[in-house]
Amino acid sequence: MMVATLLSVAACRKESADAYGNFEATEVTVSAEASGRVLRLDVEEGARLAAAADVGLIDTTTLALQRAELLARRAAAQARVREVDANAATLETQRVIAERELARTRRLLAQQAATAQQGDRAERDAKVLGDQLQGAAATRSTVGKEVASIDAQVASIDERLRRSRVVAPGGGTVLARYVEPGEFVQLGTPLFKMAALDTLTLRAYLSGAQLAQVALGQSLTVRVDAGGDSLRTVQGRVTWIAATAEFTPTPIQTREERTVQVYAVKLAVPNVDGRLRIGMPAEVTLAAAAPASGASK
């Protein structure tokens, strides 16, 4: 069975705290990766998005037309490649015949059974066909490079088409929406902001003396407002400890003077019911969180 409850009500505010901080989350601003008119943007503030969800589209009409033109050019170039290959095959057949004729003529010349004029003609025919084959090979190479260039341009267009789709970079909740369908956006224009809120990060501050009581992976008790003078408690796991000290941040209320140097620590705090909010203040006690009652084996 599950633990009876993750959040419980503490006795009262009079219970002391060892550290104070605020909840934060890694916020991601999703920006336009293409310029154009926004055709669709299916995000609403507070909505949960799955990772890689397709949530919008920027007008791709111009890109689609460019791609169609490139495909037509590629088809024409590929037809030229086939034509050159067919011509080269014919020339190769003629060259083989010319080489045979040249060899036969040379044998006749050796036997003084052919004229020098016949020998010159046979050599000329073989050379001309060889040169024509070299020219066909050069043309084949040029047209092949043209096809490769068009393929690269098509791939570039395809990448731009892909970037015209607005995709959620990860799972999370939409925090703010900045544009509406029909608006024209430039490359880099912010579209919406989102963050993963299933687990929030509590950034708290400890004195040097308190730091000795904290270790990475340690579970600590976190308390947040529950209304009136009561507090809810939840376990948080230490995920980061600052390597250097800093002066106490102004927004943090501590029992020490603000000139005291403190160390920042981060705790990962589950937010399964969504009651924790970014910026919400919280208190931390350094005693390890006691196992919740009501759990069964």
Q: Look up residue 99 and give its two tokens.
A: 């080489």
pLDDT of residue 78: 95
In this prediction, what percent of the chain has a pLDDT beyond 90? 75
- 3: pLDDT confidence band, cut at 50, 70 and 90? very low
In tens, the pLDDT along 246-291 reads: 887 765 555 555 567 899 999 999 998 889 999 999 999 996 444 4
The length of the chain in residues reads 297
pLDDT at 294 > cutoff 50: no
pLDDT of residue 215: 95
How many degrees, rounded to 5, is the angle at CA 264 between CA 169 and CA 286? 110
pLDDT of residue 251: 59
* Mean of per-residue pLDDT scores for the chain: 88
In tens, the pLDDT along 265-276 reads: 999 999 988 899
In tens, the pLDDT along 24-44 reads: 999 999 999 999 999 999 999
Residues 6 or more apart from 59 whose CB is under 8 A from it? Answer: 36, 37, 38, 39, 164
The candidate with the shortest Cα–Cα distance to 160, out of 59, 28, 70, 68, is 59
